[in-house]
Amino acid sequence: MKSLSAPLAALVLALSSSAAADEPPAAPVAATEPAEPVKVDPLAEPREMVEVQANTVAILKKAVDLYEATLGDASIDAKVRAAAWADVSRAYLRWGDLLKGDAEKIALYEKGIAAGKKGEALDAKSAGSIFWSTANQACVGRTRGVMNSLFMIGDLKKGMNRVLELNPNYHWARNTLGEIDHSVPGIAGGSDDRAEKAYLEVLRRDPHFTPTMVLMAKLKRDRGDEDEAKTWAQKVIDEKSANPRNDWKKFDLRDAKAILQELQ
């Protein structure tokens, strides 16, 4: 193959250089910013155990252990920790309800009281902490017997009314006031009419709050109005927008079906 003449070689070189110059420059590589670390909620797992998973001793015990191992971390916001201590208090109450022996029940309810008090110490306006601590106190009285419970009624009502002052839509507190009125004999200050009024107020504020529907069914059953009791129990079963959804699945459906079975 002949060598290119000097003029021709110069022309080829010039054309090659021109073509290279005409190509767009390579885009600069963007500097990669370091990805922000994904924030992990250290309380998500135990919260999900208490509020979503099955209500068993094993699950509740694990949830309590996880919560208590984490809640000493002062870097977590105080109000968040207060809400978590309220959940610990709720877990202890449910755990105690699953046991058979009175002494074992009371030991757990008392731990539930202490957990609620820890939440209240972190946030004096934590309605959940006050409610679940007071609810555990009620369970202690219930387990020890009616007379002990009667002595506690004043404190229980005071606690529930304080919760409603902080949050008028904290339906569990209004339910509890209704349960007290239904459970206590009229001579000792109870009133089924007042209980029903409390339940209806909850359902006025939240027509889908199925725990209250169950209480209405029980109230009607206890007063001998079986048709009304069945109607309320069936409402629970038929509810399509139940609130709280997880309690409906874990507790309310079961209780409503038991009432209907009992009244057949």
- What pLDDT is attached to residue 79? 96
Give the whole-angstrom CA distance, residue 71 versus residue 193: 42
- What pLDDT is attached to residue 187? 78
- What pLDDT is attached to residue 219? 98
Per-residue pLDDT 10s for the chain (264 aa) are 444 444 333 333 333 333 333 444 455 555 566 656 556 788 999 999 999 999 999 999 999 999 999 999 999 999 999 999 999 999 999 999 999 999 999 999 999 999 999 999 999 999 999 999 999 999 998 898 866 777 888 999 999 999 999 999 999 999 999 999 998 888 778 899 999 999 999 999 999 999 999 999 999 999 999 999 999 999 999 999 999 999 999 999 999 999 999 999
Q: Domain for residue 95, yes or no?
A: yes
Indicate the residue among 110, 140, 167 that finishes a domain. 167
- What pLDDT is attached to residue 152? 86
Q: Domain for residue 12, yes or no?
A: no
Give the whole-angstrom CA distance, residue 83 versus residue 5: 89
Evaluate whether 133 touches 115 at the Cβ level (below 8 Å): yes
- What pLDDT is attached to residue 164? 98
Tokens standing for 38? 């994904």
Q: Domain for residue 33, yes or no?
A: no
- What pLDDT is attached to residue 7? 38
Q: Domain for residue 11, yes or no?
A: no
- What pLDDT is attached to residue 260? 98
- What pLDDT is attached to residue 8? 35
Q: Domain for residue 84, yes or no?
A: yes
Give the whole-angstrom CA distance, residue 205 versus residue 133: 24
Q: Looking at the structure, do residues 144 and 217 belong to the same domain, yes or no?
A: no
- What pLDDT is attached to residue 145? 83
3 state DSSP class of 27: coil
> Roughly how many angstroms between the first and final C-alpha of the chain, as a whole number?
108
- What pLDDT is attached to residue 99? 97
- What pLDDT is attached to residue 36? 61
Report DSSP state, residue 29. P
What does pLDDT average to over the chain?
88
- What pLDDT is attached to residue 16? 38
The three-point CA angle 202-226-177 to 5° equals 30
Q: Domain for residue 235, yes or no?
A: yes
Supply the pTM of this predicted model: 0.82
Question: Can you give the CATH number for the domain in which 239 is found?
Answer: 1.25.40.10
Give the whole-angstrom CA distance, residue 58 versus residue 23: 69
- What pLDDT is attached to residue 83? 97
- What pLDDT is attached to residue 41? 87
Q: Looking at the structure, do residues 109 and 129 belong to the same domain, yes or no?
A: yes
Give the whole-angstrom CA distance, residue 127 versus residue 85: 11
Q: Looking at the structure, do residues 263 and 181 belong to the same domain, yes or no?
A: yes
Cα torsion 59, 63, 69, 73 to 10°: value is 160
Indicate the residue among 167, 199, 217 that finishes a domain. 167
Tokens standing for 197? 């009024």
Q: Which residues contact 173 (CB under 8 A, 6 or more apart)?
A: 127, 131, 160, 161, 163, 164
Long-range contacts, stretch 92-97, CB < 8 angstroms, 24+ apart: 92/60, 92/64, 92/136, 93/132, 93/135, 93/136, 93/139, 94/50, 94/55, 94/60, 95/57, 95/60, 95/61, 95/64, 96/136, 96/139, 97/139
Give the whole-angstrom CA distance, residue 263 versus residue 63: 37
